[in-house]
């Protein structure tokens, strides 16, 4: 199976049941795309429902008075979007007899519709092979193809537009374009991408290189130091090993899962990271672990540092644990975690553990 087939199969099973996906009515797709500009899906949902109840057709929108249109938009922000919808609805009634146009240039010419929205409406409503590139698509494609060119340079952005178009399978634009965006929203997220359950993992160059967090490439204003670190979730009979950082150290007094810094400004592959983690475990706990399970990567940013904290799980047997340092420690079960103060990165690890 190729990348497209994997992605389409995944989308078929995992897509969110969004109201504009029920019948792919062009009017609904159009309104949803405009509402989704700069706004999250969860925020849009109640607005979309109210809008469609009050203004179910292009004609009803064209005939509505502006006060009503703006009231329905109240709280969504960027009110010019609502005004543009209203004006375009009148234009569509005049010029296209109330039928939303299916010609790409006509769609593109409507007020408030840029290249991305035109591509989204043409592909989603009319299944036309038109490309779409937004923040999600930049991120997903830059990772899958390990594109090292900065997305801040307009010249480089064209690479993404051409690439995305070339990937659309014949007759599948509607589903493929949405699948790519859905992957970016649900799996290939900016922080902590869920590579382990990603349907296109085997095609992903950044995953193979073990440097997913380096994509998409941005033109950094100030040089940031990239740190790779690793943390260990050691589990024994439903409990997990944590220890308390001594006062006087950074984050002193907070509890954490054992962690180690691996590198500064140096890239390691996924297997190198595992090997180095195993070595630290052996050195600090004087024990050999055979099997490490990757739980994900947590981003931690502090002054001029971008840190990727790779989190691993290992099962521990009934032996006593010998730790080189003498920090206070505990074996805590999941419901105990809330009693211990963790730094935010380690709270995220605790949340990951709670899903095990
Ligand atoms: Fe994104 Fe990871 Fe999937 Fe690659 S493997 S596409 S980085 S989620």
Q: What integer is the mean pLDDT of 247-259?
A: 80
pLDDT bracket for residue 264 (50, 70, 90): confident
Centroid of ligand 1 to alpha carbon of 352 (angstroms): 18
pLDDT bracket for residue 104 (50, 70, 90): very high
**Helices first, then strands: H and E counts in the chain:** 14, 7
Contact 255, 346 (CB under 8 A): yes
CA 343 to chain centre: 23
Residue where a domain stops, chosen among 160, 185, 214 = 214
In this structure, what CATH number is given to the domain that contains residue 208?
1.10.340.30
Highest mean pLDDT among 160-169, 241-250, 302-311: 160-169
Q: What local confidence, expressed as pLDDT, does residue 323 receive?
A: 80
Dist CA 330 CA 10 (whole Å): 41
> Is any ligand 1 atom within 6 A of the Cβ of residue 195?
yes
Residue 221 has pLDDT above 70, yes or no: no
pLDDT bracket for residue 324 (50, 70, 90): confident
pLDDT bracket for residue 163 (50, 70, 90): very high
Domain count, the chain: 2
- The answer to whether residues 254 and 176 belong to one domain is no
Which residue from 183, 207, 210, 308 has its CB within 8 A of the most atoms of ligand 1, so it is best to mutate? 207
- The phi and psi torsions of 191 (rounded to 5 degrees) equal -105, 145
> Is any ligand 1 atom within 6 A of the Cβ of residue 51?
no
Report the residue count for the chain. Answer: 356
Centroid of ligand 1 to alpha carbon of 160 (angstroms): 17
> Is any ligand 1 atom within 6 A of the Cβ of residue 200?
yes
Contact 311, 231 (CB under 8 A): yes
Question: Of 62-66, 163-167, 285-289, where does mean pLDDT reach its minimum?
Answer: 285-289
- The answer to whether residues 14 and 56 belong to one domain is yes
Please indicate, yes or no, if residue 219 is contained in any of the structural domains. Answer: no
- The answer to whether residues 68 and 144 belong to one domain is yes
Dist CA 216 CA 339 (whole Å): 37
- Using CA atoms, how far residue 303 sits from 52, 54, 225, 257, in Å, is 47, 49, 9, 23
Q: What local confidence, expressed as pLDDT, does residue 76 receive?
A: 81
- The answer to whether residues 7 and 113 belong to one domain is yes
> Is any ligand 1 atom within 6 A of the Cβ of residue 234?
no
Please indicate, yes or no, if residue 43 is contained in any of the structural domains. Answer: yes
Please indicate, yes or no, if residue 220 is contained in any of the structural domains. Answer: no
> Is any ligand 1 atom within 6 A of the Cβ of residue 140?
yes
Please indicate, yes or no, if residue 304 is contained in any of the structural domains. Answer: yes
Helices 154-167 and 135-144: crossing angle in degrees, nearest 10, is 80
Centroid of ligand 1 to alpha carbon of 7 (angstroms): 12
- The answer to whether residues 107 and 252 belong to one domain is no
Please indicate, yes or no, if residue 128 is contained in any of the structural domains. Answer: yes
Q: What integer is the mean pLDDT of 35-49?
A: 94
pLDDT bracket for residue 266 (50, 70, 90): confident
- The answer to whether residues 143 and 237 belong to one domain is no
- The answer to whether residues 52 and 201 belong to one domain is yes
Dist CA 232 CA 260 (whole Å): 9
Centroid of ligand 1 to alpha carbon of 120 (angstroms): 22
Centroid of ligand 1 to alpha carbon of 85 (angstroms): 36
Q: Which one has a higher pLDDT value, 61 or 271?
A: 61
Rounded to two decimals, the pTM is 0.63
Dist CA 15 CA 281 (whole Å): 40
Please indicate, yes or no, if residue 331 is contained in any of the structural domains. Answer: yes
- The answer to whether residues 162 and 36 belong to one domain is yes
Question: Of 4-18, 240-254, 261-275, 305-319, where does mean pLDDT reach its minimum?
Answer: 240-254
Question: Over the stretch 110-147, which tens digit does the pLDDT of each residue have?
Answer: 999 999 999 999 999 999 999 999 999 999 999 999 99
Respond yes or no: is residue 28 known to be catalytic.
no
Q: Which one has a higher pLDDT value, 286 or 109?
A: 109
The residue annotated as part of the active site, out of 28, 33, 213, 307, is 33
Element (H, E) at 206: helix 205-209
- The answer to whether residues 302 and 337 belong to one domain is yes
Which residue from 200, 205, 269 has its CB within 8 A of the most atoms of ligand 1, so it is best to mutate? 200
Residue 288 has pLDDT above 70, yes or no: yes
Q: Which residues contact 326 (CB under 8 A, 6 or more apart)?
A: none
- The answer to whether residues 189 and 54 belong to one domain is yes
Residue where a domain stops, chosen among 214, 248, 266 = 214
Residue where a domain stops, chosen among 187, 214, 241 = 214
Residue 247 has pLDDT above 80, yes or no: no
pLDDT bracket for residue 342 (50, 70, 90): confident
Which residue from 143, 194, 208, 210 has its CB within 8 A of the most atoms of ligand 1, so it is best to mutate? 143
Question: Of 42-56, 190-204, 298-312, where does mean pLDDT reach its minimum?
Answer: 298-312
- The answer to whether residues 238 and 199 belong to one domain is no
Domain range for 304:
225-353
- The answer to whether residues 185 and 145 belong to one domain is yes
> Is any ligand 1 atom within 6 A of the Cβ of residue 144?
yes
Q: Label residue 22 exposed, middle or buried (CB < 10 Å: 0-12, 13-18, 19+).
A: exposed
Please indicate, yes or no, if residue 340 is contained in any of the structural domains. Answer: yes
> Is any ligand 1 atom within 6 A of the Cβ of residue 201?
yes
Centroid of ligand 1 to alpha carbon of 258 (angstroms): 26
In this structure, what CATH number is given to the domain that contains residue 340?
3.90.79.10
> Is any ligand 1 atom within 6 A of the Cβ of residue 180?
no
Q: What local confidence, expressed as pLDDT, does residue 255 receive?
A: 87
Q: What local confidence, expressed as pLDDT, does residue 222 receive?
A: 66
Compute the mean pLDDT over every residue in the chain, rounded to the nearest whole number. 92
């Amino acid at each position: 199976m190729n990348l497209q087939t994997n992605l389409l199969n995944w989308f078929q099973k995992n897509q969110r049941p969004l109201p504009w996906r029920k019948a792919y009515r062009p009017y609904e797709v159009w309104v949803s795309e405009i509402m989704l500009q700069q706004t999250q899906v969860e925020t849009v949902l109640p607005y979309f429902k109210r809008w469609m109840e009050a203004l179910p057709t292009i004609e009803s929108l064209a005939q509505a008075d502006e006060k009503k249109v703006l009231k329905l938009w109240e709280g969504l922000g960027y009110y010019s979007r609502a005004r543009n919808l209203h004006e375009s609805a009148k234009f569509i009634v005049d010029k296209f007899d109330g039928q939303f146009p299916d010609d790409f240039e006509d769609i593109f010419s409507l007020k408030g519709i840029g290249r991305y929205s035109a591509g989204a409406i043409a592909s989603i409503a009319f299944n036309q092979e038109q490309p779409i590139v937004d923040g999600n698509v930049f991120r997903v494609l830059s990772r899958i193809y390990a594109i090292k060119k900065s997305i801040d340079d307009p010249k480089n952005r064209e690479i993404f537009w051409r690439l995305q178009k070339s990937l659309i399978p014949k007759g599948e634009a509607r589903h493929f374009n949405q699948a790519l965006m859905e992957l970016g929203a649900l799996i290939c997220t900016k922080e902590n991408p869920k590579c382990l359950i990603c349907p296109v993992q085997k095609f992903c160059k950044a995953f193979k290189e073990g440097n997913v967090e380096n994509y998409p490439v941005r033109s950094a204003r100030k040089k940031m130091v990239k740190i790779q670190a690793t943390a260990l979730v050691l589990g024994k009979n439903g409990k997990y090993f944590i220890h308390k950082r001594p006062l006087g150290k950074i984050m002193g007094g907070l509890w954490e899962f054992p962690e180690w810094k691996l590198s500064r400004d140096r890239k390691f592959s996924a297997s190198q990271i595992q090997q180095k983690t195993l070595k630290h475990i052996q050195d600090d706990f004087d024990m050999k672990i055979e099997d490490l399970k990757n739980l994900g990567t947590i981003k931690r940013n502090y002054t001029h540092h971008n840190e990727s904290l790779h989190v691993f799980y290992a099962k521990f047997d009934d032996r006593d644990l010998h730790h080189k340092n003498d920090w206070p420690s505990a074996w805590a079960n999941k419901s105990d975690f809330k009693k211990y103060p963790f730094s935010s990165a380690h709270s995220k690890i605790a949340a990951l553990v709670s899903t095990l």
